[in-house]
Amino acid sequence: MSFSIEWKPPMEWKLPAEWKSPAELRLPAGWKLPGWKTLVVHLIAASISLYLLVSLSFSTAPISLPSHITPDDLHSSSSLNLTGTHSLGNSSAGFNASTKASPVASPISSPSASPSPLKSRYAIGTFLGAHWDKKEGDTDYSDWYFVGARILTYQFMHSPITKLKTPIPFIILVSKDVSESKRERLRRDGATVVEVEHIQHNFSDQIGKPSWKETFTKMRLFDPKVMPYEKVLMVDTDMVITRPIDNLFLDRNTALQPSRRNGTKEQKSALLSHHRKFPASYAYWTAPETMDWDHPFPFTNEDGAIKEFNSALAMYTPNEAIFQYYMDLIAKPDSFPFWGLPDQNLLNYAHRLDGPLPWQQLEPSWYINWVNPNDLEGEVAIFHIKYWNMEYPHPLVREYALSRRWEMEGYWLAKEGKPHAKWASNSVLGDI
């Protein structure tokens, strides 16, 4: 069987009767065809637009860094050289930070993460104690820390700007004195609420503020029976988030570090009875205490001058032996220096730089205390800031934190269709 195809040259092709040949086409009156120069300009503009669109779609957005910081500095695990038995500030390849706050802060990126998907091996945890200074007529919303817990729950679970991209639970430990109405509200918001027992101690007479007397109970966050996760990010309730923080769990700079259980004689003698029980590796990552509003950006503590960290945030691996170490320290008031700051003093001693479990420094893009406008403009991920502090020295930063509170309130007003009871009370103005 054979086939034949009749081919006709183009000159015999015919347009449909209703079509017009190019020669018959006419532009509307007043229209002119653009010149070749105009066409070239438009073609170049279209090409540039297409290039930018493709670049943004298939790569991470470029980050504008201060001139003294390179991408390698931010993404290298050796950039701060704070692992193993090294002390802060010994790195020869560390950040080259300026000594003054940048007049215009450039955003810094958080370190890249591995492609492994997140699972329920990770959790974010906080502690909410009783409303210590509750007065007659106060409502749940007179408790600033309760409202702070709600803000964090909203930011982690619902905010289109900061919501977690992966199913990481937000767990709020509460003492027995936290009201059921607060617990139920936090559950409706999306948090997991867990009641824990008080941690008894003999430091009450030495604790500076009444609101801090219960904060030793915050140490339950380190109990692996309460927090059975591979990694936990501990945060205080007086914080706000500026962007999603999922990658902090995958950041290679929050990996396990070798403990010093086989360290020097002096180090061993400081371990009480625990040096044989400590794990071979551990994780305790946090940020140095900035100590001042006028700190440089990014805050790297390159010279290691600051030896203490702020205990409001830490990334760690819960471990039974380490938790019992904390409990033994609390049971023996003379076993560590105490200046009236319960968890701050305890954790800084347990994770001192010359001890068996030295703390490691997070990349500066993740967390900052004593927040100033450069930190805000530089897009640090987590701010330690009390939105209710009327005396905060930087109005721009305080307004940012306060706006997160009303963003949360507006979200639930729209979702539930009615204002909370507190909106009709006088306390709504009293706590801002």
Higher pLDDT, 314 or 46: 314
CA nearest 74: which of 85, 83, 65?
65
Beta-carbon neighbour count of residue 106 at 10 Å? 17
Q: Residue 54 has what pLDDT? A: 43
Query: Which of 7-11, 101-105, 230-234 is predicted least confidently?
Result: 101-105
Three-state SS at 379: coil
Least confident of 245-259, 304-318, 340-354: 340-354
Contact 150, 144 (CB under 8 A): no
Say what the pLDDT of residue 368 is. 96
How confident is residue 325, by pLDDT bands cut at 50, 70 and 90?
very high
The DSSP call for residue 241 is: E
> Token pair for residue 393?
């020295």
Which residue has 């018959």 as its token pair?
24
Nearest CA to 363 among 153, 126, 71, 118?
71
pLDDT at position 339: 62
| Confidence band for 117, pLDDT divided at 50, 70 and 90 | very low
pLDDT per position as a tens digit, 270-297: 555 555 578 889 999 999 998 888 888 9
DSSP class per residue in 332-365: -GGGS--SS-HHHHHHHHHT-TTSSS--EEPPTT
Whether 424 maps to a domain, the answer reads yes
- Beta carbons of 313 and 218 less than 8 angstroms apart: no
Higher pLDDT, 50 or 112: 50
Within a domain: 404: yes
Structure tokens at 184: 């139920």
The region that residue 190 occupies, defined by phi over 0 for left and psi between -120 and 50 for alpha, beta otherwise, is: left
The long-range contacts involving 422-426, CB below 8 angstroms and separated by at least 24 positions, are 422/139, 422/140, 422/141, 422/142, 425/139, 425/141, 426/137
Token couple for 24: 């018959």
The dihedral through the CA atoms of 86, 92, 97, 99 has a sign that is positive
User: Structural domain of residue 247, as residue ranges?
Assistant: 116-430
More confident residue, 425 or 273: 273
Instruction: Give the model's pLDDT for residue 19.
Output: 52
What pLDDT digit, counting tens, does each position of 72-102 carry?
Answer: 333 333 333 333 333 333 333 333 333 333 3
3-state secondary structure of 127: strand
Contact between 404 and 410 (Cβ < 8 Å): no
Count of domains in the chain?
A: 1
Reply yes or no on whether the pLDDT at 188 is more than 70: yes
Residue 60's pLDDT band (boundaries 50, 70, 90)?
A: very low
The reported pLDDT for the residue numbered 91 is 32
Residue matched to tokens 């006419």? 26
Determine the angle formed by the axes of helices 144-157 and 180-189, rounding to 10 degrees. 20
Burial of 90 (0-12, 13-18, 19+ CB in 10 A): exposed
Instruction: Provide the CB-side half-sphere exposure for 46 (13 A, CA).
Output: 6
- Asked which of 41-45, 101-105, 337-341 is least confident by mean pLDDT, the reply is 101-105
pLDDT for 87: 33
Q: pLDDT confidence of 63, banded at 50, 70, 90? A: very low
| The predicted structure's pLDDT at residue 78 | 31
State residue 250's pLDDT score: 92
Q: Is residue 50 part of a domain?
A: no
Most confident segment among 36-45, 185-194, 412-421: 185-194
- Residue 51 inside a domain? The answer is no
Q: For 278-396, list the strands marked E by DSSP.
A: 281-282, 284-286, 313-316, 360-361, 367-368, 382-384
Could you tell me the pLDDT band of residue 344, with boundaries at 50, 70 and 90?
confident
The per-residue b/e assignment along 209-224, b for 16 or more CB within 10 angstroms, e otherwise, is eeebbbbbbbbbbbbe
Q: Are 282 and 259 in contact (CB under 8 A)?
A: yes
Confidence (pLDDT) at 238: 95
| Triad 289, 295, 300: Cα angle to 5° | 65
Instruction: Please check the confidence at residue 131 and state whether its pLDDT lies above 50.
Output: yes
Stretch 37-65: mean pLDDT: 49
Average pLDDT score over residue span 312-319: 97
| Domain contains 162 | yes
Comparison of pLDDT for 351 and 253, the residue scoring more? 351
CA dist., res. 409 & res. 431, Å (int): 14
Q: For residue 130, what pLDDT band results from cuts at 50, 70 and 90?
A: confident
- The pLDDT assigned to 277 comes to 78
200 secondary structure, DSSP code: P
Give the up-direction half-sphere exposure of residue 98: CA atoms within 13 A in the CB hemisphere.
Answer: 18
Buried b (16+ CB within 10 A) or exposed e, 147-177: bbbbbbbbbbbbbeebebeeebbbbbbbbee
CATH number, domain with residue 185: 3.90.550.10
Tell me, yes or no, whether 275 lies in a domain: yes
Q: Report the predicted TM-score, pTM, of the whole model to 2 decimal places.
A: 0.70
**Is residue 19 one of the residues assigned to a domain?**
no
Whether 234 is covered by a domain: the verdict is yes
pLDDT over 90 at 181, yes or no: yes
Task: Answer with the residue of higher pLDDT: 269 or 220.
Answer: 220
